[in-house]
Amino acid sequence: MNNKKIDFSGRGMKLLLALIGLGGLLIVVRFIFGLGSVSNLSDGYPWGLWIGVDVLTGVALAAGGFTIAAAVHVLGLKKYHSVIRPAILTALLGYIFVALGIIVDLGRGWNIWHIIVFWNRDSVMFEVAWCVLLYSTVLALEFAPVFFEEFKLTAWEEKWDKYAPWISILLVSWFVFVMSGIPWYAGITFIILAACWFLFRNKLPRGSTVILLIMAGIIFSVQHQSSLGSIFLIVPTKLSTLWYTPYLPVNFLISAITVGLAMVIFESTISSRVFGVGLEDDVVKGLARVLPWAVLATAVVRAATLFQATGFKLDASGGQLASFFLEIIVGTVIPFIMLMFMGAGKSAKIIFYASAMVVIGVVINRINVSIVGIKIDGYPVYVPHIGEILITLGIISTGLLAFYIVCIKLPVFGKR
């Protein structure tokens, strides 16, 4: 056990606890009096802040998990090993946000298990749901060794080493079956992954279990990030062409990878302030060298798809245009300039602020796609209710608190 105590008396902590309490209270109200009592959602605007922020943004931010895991394990970049656990943990917690958000947002959350028995593979939402379910399982498996290490569960660790790869192979194959309904597609998936596993186990040093788990994680994550974009493919007449394109899933995926990188920098900087443990300087600087190119790639793909859809004839309301330019300037232009030309090579501060802006830019993008960009004739424009805002703050605070506790209690930043 770690002997570090959790300090509940700090001012920040008190604020977190207050927000969690308030959010919790409002959630109780929501479950007694219905969604209408704490939200401005309407028949015209059925989705609002909870989907836009808690779910879409939560998932995007959690992308840090897969970007880093991918880079480190698949490409074998040993230098970046130290960021894996914090990144995976953020991903896991990100999905906890998402799960809480969904439970609040769903009209009948207690029926969520229906996705396991009632299948509609024509529905993008169905894909999203399975991605959440399977990816969280893989993430939990990825994080399990930390618990085993902490609680000295050597027997479990051996079992994990033996079964985790097979579980992840089965999960991916199962996913293919669920989505296609064609058994031999699942068969091919199984054979390919099993072949990888044999190859890894016999030819690679001991990291093979993790590599396979990570592969499964990347597959689910890629599907999940892009499927969130696919959700909006069905509203070509509702979503402004500033955001609607048949390539929405591609845009969502690329921006998720970018924000993943930014998030790891952002987080590590904060964690080294709060816990005194963070990433080594050259790791952060390495990430910061890649980040502007990721930002640029996101912007180029976005511009190309926007041109393909509109020929740059931007026909939208004033508010939408303003929000569009805000997204581009905050999320792309400024951080790119900061990282490329403002001595990001030396200044940790510039790196920190630039990555924070990338994160904010993606948050604005997700809000734009799901809220600002959508306009429904005949309904008053949706503006979030104070209840929605407070519940969202409560959920985010819960995640932060959980992150804090886990960081203190478990060896997330390596052995102390």
Partner 1 sequence: MKTSINQKGFLIDGTKCIGCRGCQVACKQWNELPAEKTEFFGGPGYQNPAHLSSKTYTLIKYREVMKDGKLKGWVFHKDQCQHCLEPACVSACIVGALEKTASGPVVWEDKKCIGCRYCMLACPFNVPAFEWSSINPDIRKCTLCSDRIENGLEPSCAKACPTKAIIFGDRNSLIKIARNRLKSESAKYHQHIYGEEEAGGTCILNISSIPLEDFGYPKNLPKTAMASFTQPALRSIPGAVIGLGAALGLIAFIANMVKGDEKDSSGQGDRS
* Window 159 to 198, contacts with partner 1 (CB under 8 A): 161, 172, 175-176, 179-180, 182, 185, 188-189, 192-193, 195-196
Asked whether position 50 contacts partner 1 by CB under 8 A, the answer is no
C-alpha 275/C-alpha 157 separation (Å) is: 28
What's the token pair of residue 73? Answer: 């394990």
What's the token pair of residue 53? Answer: 């922020």
Q: Quick one: 125 or 303, whose CB is closer to partner 1?
A: 125
Q: Quick one: 229 or 394, whose CB is closer to partner 1?
A: 229
Give the residue, chosen from 16, 92, 96, 231, that forms a contact with partner 1 under the rule CB under 8 A. Answer: 231
Asked whether position 35 contacts partner 1 by CB under 8 A, the answer is yes
DSSP bridge pairs for 374: 239
- 129-158 footprint of partner 1 as x/- string (CB under 8 A): x---------------x-------------
Q: Quick one: 231 or 358, whose CB is closer to partner 1?
A: 231
CB of 401 to partner 1, least distance (A): 25
Asked whether position 18 contacts partner 1 by CB under 8 A, the answer is no
Give the residue, chosen from 1, 3, 5, 205, that forms a contact with partner 1 under the rule CB under 8 A. Answer: 205
Asked whether position 33 contacts partner 1 by CB under 8 A, the answer is yes
Total residues contacting partner 1 by CB under 8 A comes to 91
Sort 11 into a burial class: Cβ within 10 Å, 0-12 / 13-18 / 19+.
exposed
C-alpha 321/C-alpha 327 separation (Å) is: 10
DSSP bridge pairs for 239: 374
* 3-class DSSP assignment, residue 9: coil
CB of 207 to partner 1, least distance (A): 3
C-alpha 388/C-alpha 47 separation (Å) is: 11
- According to DSSP, residue 5 is labeled P
Asked whether position 25 contacts partner 1 by CB under 8 A, the answer is no
Report CA Rg, the chain: 21
Sort 40 into a burial class: Cβ within 10 Å, 0-12 / 13-18 / 19+.
middle
Stretch that binds partner 1, among 342-350, 356-364, 373-381, 402-410 (CB under 8 A): 373-381
What's the token pair of residue 336? Answer: 């790119």
